[in-house]
């Protein structure tokens, strides 16, 4: 009997243990799902600037700190500074977390320096109707480089881009070299067929679905991506990054520069108001920051400076708007030359609008200046000339007159004038007026 009881107790203990294990497994399943490694997504658009470099470096650091499954960089760029691009490429290659460069949305492009960034990704993908390539080097103002410098730059870039494309096959390496040497570009379909990219995805969820189970090499170690159902977390720019990125837009930089110069000139013209000067100085400093980050043509700055010189001179020596018209033309030329680079897209309508508004403002000031010069004086000795006075004592030819509530000594130029007669002031000589009889 005792043996049977022992067996029953043992069976009960085993049953309890099984039930506990089942409960624990059920409780652990949601926790495991909740601790799935996230996929971070960054939105990188616009010219390559120090802000973009800082943002990407921060994103990679954040992905490594959070042990993310992958970091997706949604890219749309016309290119930019090659040195900054190399720093971005180095940061991507050195990442411990797989970095996915995804050219999106539809209509986006990874031009020039963007081609190197895309090829640097552990995974490269594009949305439909996007393009990549045209990575030929140009000068800071978009001009062709001198032959010797161009040859050196092309050789260096070819070596860099072919090294990045090497793991993607011979066709990708050949195309990458042509993208630098011949400015060759490719659509998303062409890039996929050449092996330049790994996937064409309509959106991030589609990309995650296609990447699931894909093998990548990170620091010579093969890593399998598990992205199906992975939680997606956006990693936006910080407020400071977003602000600095916004003011480095060429159109915003042009607006800030115009406001800044106008504010400073207004303060110099009317000292003591302070507000225009403070606002102008702040805007001008932000514009200088943007111009320092962007590749600009300083000839354009000279044209813009000339425009404001013409505006100011037209106020001091009015020429019926001729100098203001010249200033508007100079401003438009300067603004267009200032950002004459394939990496930047300056709005023609914005440039013309700013020029017309600025020219209109100065034309208004010029008109007011002319009106003031033509206006009859209301104070001082000049204001008395031409005024009408009443004779108080006979002018024979000297006597007194009553003018604007005051008694003045006066001398008649046209003979004796009886008291009560109206006379007109012709000149002021010290404290004596020279007058003539008022004609009806």
Q: Is residue 7 part of a domain?
A: no
pLDDT at 195: 93
**276-307: per-residue pLDDT in tens?**
888 989 998 998 888 877 777 778 888 888 88
In this predicted structure, the answer to whether residue 386 has a pLDDT above a threshold of 60 is yes
pLDDT grade, residue 379 (50/70/90)? low
Same domain, residue pair 264 and 369: yes
Q: Is residue 283 part of a domain?
A: yes
Average pLDDT of the chain, as a whole number: 82
How many domains are there within the chain? 3
pLDDT grade, residue 175 (50/70/90)? very high
Provide the residue range defining the domain that includes 313: 248-374
pLDDT at 335: 83
Which tokens is 423 given? 């006379």
Which position among 6, 25, 152, 171 bears the catalytic label?
152
Distance in angstroms (rounded) separating the CA atoms of residues 9 and 306: 101
**399-420: per-residue pLDDT in tens?**
888 888 788 888 888 878 888 8
Residues 387, 388, 393, 395: is their CA dihedral positive or negative? positive
Rounded to two decimals, the pTM is 0.69
Same domain, residue pair 63 and 178: yes
Same domain, residue pair 281 and 348: yes
CATH classification of the domain holding 418: 2.40.50.140
Q: Is residue 21 part of a domain?
A: no
Question: What is the average pLDDT across 388-398?
Answer: 87
Q: Is residue 5 part of a domain?
A: no
Q: Is residue 19 part of a domain?
A: no
Q: Is residue 242 part of a domain?
A: no
Domain boundary among 374, 400, 426: 374
Same domain, residue pair 159 and 254: no
The verdict on whether 152 is a catalytic residue reads yes
Q: What is the DSSP letter of 37?
A: P
Same domain, residue pair 39 and 121: yes
Same domain, residue pair 321 and 350: yes
Q: Is residue 2 part of a domain?
A: no
Same domain, residue pair 388 and 369: no
CATH classification of the domain holding 199: 3.90.226.10
Same domain, residue pair 233 and 315: no
Same domain, residue pair 48 and 167: yes
pLDDT at 198: 95
**25-82: per-residue pLDDT in tens?**
555 444 444 457 899 999 999 888 899 999 999 999 999 999 999 999 999 998 888 8
pLDDT at 89: 94
Domain boundary among 184, 207, 237: 237
Same domain, residue pair 67 and 91: yes
pLDDT at 83: 87
Same domain, residue pair 398 and 302: no
DSSP 304-359: HHHHHHHHHHHHHS--TTHHHHHHHHHHHHHHHHHT-STT----HHHHHHHHHHHH
Which tokens is 8 given? 């029953």
pLDDT grade, residue 3 (50/70/90)? low
The verdict on whether 396 is a catalytic residue reads no
Same domain, residue pair 292 and 226: no
Give the CA radius of gyration of the chain.
39
Q: Is residue 23 part of a domain?
A: no
**331-346: per-residue pLDDT in tens?**
888 888 887 665 566 7
Count CB atoms within 10 A of the CB of residue 138: 19
């Amino acid at each position: 009997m005792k043996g049977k009881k022992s067996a029953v107790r043992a069976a009960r203990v085993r049953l309890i243990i099984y039930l506990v294990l089942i409960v624990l497994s059920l409780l652990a399943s949601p926790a495991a799902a909740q601790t799935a490694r996230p996929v971070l997504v960054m939105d990188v658009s616009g010219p390559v600037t120090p802000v973009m470099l800082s943002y990407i470096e921060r994103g990679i650091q954040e992905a490594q700190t959070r042990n993310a499954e992958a970091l997706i960089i949604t890219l749309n760029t016309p290119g930019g500074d090659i040195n900054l691009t190399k720093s971005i490429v180095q940061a991507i290659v050195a990442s411990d977390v797989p970095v996915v460069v995804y050219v999106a949305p539809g209509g986006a492009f990874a031009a020039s320096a963007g081609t190197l960034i895309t090829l640097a990704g552990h995974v490269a993908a594009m949305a439909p109707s996007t393009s990549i390539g045209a990575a030929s080097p140009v000068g800071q103002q978009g001009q062709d480089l001198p032959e010797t410098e161009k040859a050196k730059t092309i050789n260096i870039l070819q070596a860099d881009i072919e090294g990045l494309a090497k793991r993607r096959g011979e066709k990708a390496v050949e195309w990458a070299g042509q993208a630098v040497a011949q400015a060759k570009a490719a659509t998303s379909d062409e890039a996929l067929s050449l092996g330049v990219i790994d996937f064409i995805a309509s959106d991030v969820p589609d990309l995650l679905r296609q990447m699931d189970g894909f093998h990548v090499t990170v620091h010579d170690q093969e890593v399998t991506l598990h992205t199906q159902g992975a939680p997606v977390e956006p990693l936006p720019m910080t407020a400071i990054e977003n602000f600095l990125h916004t003011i480095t837009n060429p159109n915003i930089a042009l607006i800030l520069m115009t406001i800044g110069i106008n504010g400073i000139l207004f303060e110099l013209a009317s000292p003591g108001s302070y507000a225009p000067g403070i606002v102008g100085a702040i805007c001008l400093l932000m514009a200088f920051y943007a111009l320092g980050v962007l590749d600009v043509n300083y000839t354009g700055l000279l044209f813009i400076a000339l425009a404001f010189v013409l505006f100011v001179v037209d106020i001091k020596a009015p020429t019926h708007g001729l100098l203001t018209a010249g200033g508007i033309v100079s401003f438009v030329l300067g603004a267009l030359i200032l950002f004459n680079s394939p990496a930047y897209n300056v709005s023609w309508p914005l440039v013309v609008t700013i020029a017309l508004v600025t020219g209109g403002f100065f034309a208004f000031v010029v008109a007011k200046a002319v009106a003031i010069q033509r206006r009859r004086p209301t104070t001082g000795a000049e204001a008395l000339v031409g005024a009408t006075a009443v004779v108080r004592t006979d002018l024979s030819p000297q006597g007194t007159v009553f003018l604007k509530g005051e008694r003045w000594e006066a001398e008649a130029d046209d003979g004796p004038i009886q008291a009560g007669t109206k006379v007109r002031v012709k000149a002021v000589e010290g404290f004596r007026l020279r007058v003539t009889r008022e004609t009806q």
